Amino acid sequence: MNSKRLIVSLQLWRGKCIKTSKFEKNNSTYLGDVLNAVNIYNEKEVDELVLFDLEASKNRTINFELLSKISRVSRMPLTYGGGIDSLEKATKLLSLGIEKLNFNNLFFNEVDEFKKISNYIGKQSIVLSIDYRKEKNNYNIYYEGGAKKSTLTIRDIADKNIQQFIGELYLNNIERDGEMNGYDDSLLKNIYNDFKIPITVSGGFNNYENIKSIFSKYSIIGISCSSLFVFKGRKKAVLLSYPDKIEKEYLKQS
């Protein structure tokens, strides 16, 4: 795994690309056909593509046919999250060529099944999404699309007995999702050294200098952006973009 990764994340709803704001499906923008988006990002040589199927997360029904088409087209490493609640589904997804599986609900609802999957397929293919809100002075964890509040804390998840089942931690700032108001790294800087696994951060990135600031502070880090790479201008016209090779090298310089 590269020490610094600049990732594009796309949300799916009924097979189409959308972009939410603050995890609210009713406050989303339609982006177009996902296969078209994959082809565009292929040409832009994206480090990694992450797909979140919001419908699958809700209904627990994965669109394997669509994911098979995406995997065949994609020349980028793929991570998928949404509706993965069994070993059978996990192994089927990997058989399609998807490299990593992103979990959220299963970890909080059925942690034993989560551990079973990790033990079988290997933690290198396991990503745990932590969706959080900063409320007063606390960072509270949510699941089920941000609807349910967990009793677990970030420190609980940093426990070595939990980390042994996780290959990567993916931090989602719910309140900054889709807002493009700058990434707040106050949580990251407090917990970065508690984890012995790679961390990817998401939520609020609004320009390249914001990205460079995080890359300059952390030697091993993934930055996952959506709005920054799908919108342009104050009116948020849909335009899929990504830094070119020279820009990306600049951003990743320490």
Asked whether residue 254 carries a pLDDT value surpassing 80, the answer given is no
Looking at domain 4-252, its CATH superfamily turns out to be: Aldolase class I (3.20.20.70)
What is the residue-wise DSSP string for 121-133?
A: H-GGGEEEEEEEE
pLDDT in tens, 55-88: 999 999 999 999 999 999 999 999 999 999 999 9
Write out pLDDT tens, residues 111-146.
999 999 999 999 999 999 999 999 988 999 999 999
Give the pLDDT confidence score for residue 59 in this predicted structure. Answer: 93
pTM over 0.85: yes
The active-site residue out of 47, 53, 85, 131 is 131
Q: Confirm whether 47 is a catalytic residue.
A: no
Q: Where are the domains of the chain?
A: 4-252
Residues 159-212: tens digit of each pLDDT: 999 999 999 999 999 999 999 999 999 999 999 999 999 999 999 999 999 999
According to the model, what pLDDT value does residue 1 have? 57
Residue entry with tokens 């980390």: 163
CB 197 within 8 A of CB 162: no
Burial class (CB in 10 A: 0-12, 13-18, 19+), 231: buried
Q: How confident is the model at residue 235 (pLDDT cuts 50, 70, 90)?
A: confident
